[in-house]
Amino acid sequence: MLLSMAGRWGDHIVNRIAITDRGRGPEISGTRITVFHVLEYRRAGMHRDAIAAALGVSSSQVEAALDFIREHEAEVTRQYEEIRSRIERGNPAWVEEKFRESHAKLEAFRKRLPLNVNTSATDAQGTCVGQ
């Protein structure tokens, strides 16, 4: 699925913005920002320019994503709700077990390091683990 928007200055195309799907959901072409990211900011009440600043893209790119959302509202909403539901369910037990195994290996490795090496890291929730 592709939505292209062309901005013009006189008769010259100065900007081309596309929304493409490379398997992660529709995203602003040339970025890893999906329309779902834009949708979350918009639902939080943010203006297009504030969303652009928060995501580090142009207002035109955000506007292209918003246009895509409006033109494909039912499908975008359905996919977004599926994503939210999957997040709320959390990881399957086998994923959590792999995380615990990896964390245990990391801790064993840290114990073998010299004491003056910074071993700070964060877990999947962003909590600092280690010193």
Residues 65-89 have pLDDT tens digits of 999 999 999 999 999 999 999 899 9
Radius of gyration of the chain (CA): 21
Domain 3-89, architecture per CATH: Orthogonal Bundle (1.10)
Give the torsion sign (CA, 102, 106, 107, 109): positive
**pTM score:** 0.63
Asked whether the beta carbons of 36 and 79 are under 8 A apart, the reply is yes
**CA 120/CA 93 separation, integer angstroms:** 26
Report the phi/psi class of residue 124: left, alpha or beta, with left for phi > 0 and alpha for psi in -120 to 50. Answer: alpha
Q: Model confidence over 23-59: pLDDT tens digits?
A: 888 999 889 999 999 999 999 999 999 999 999 999 9
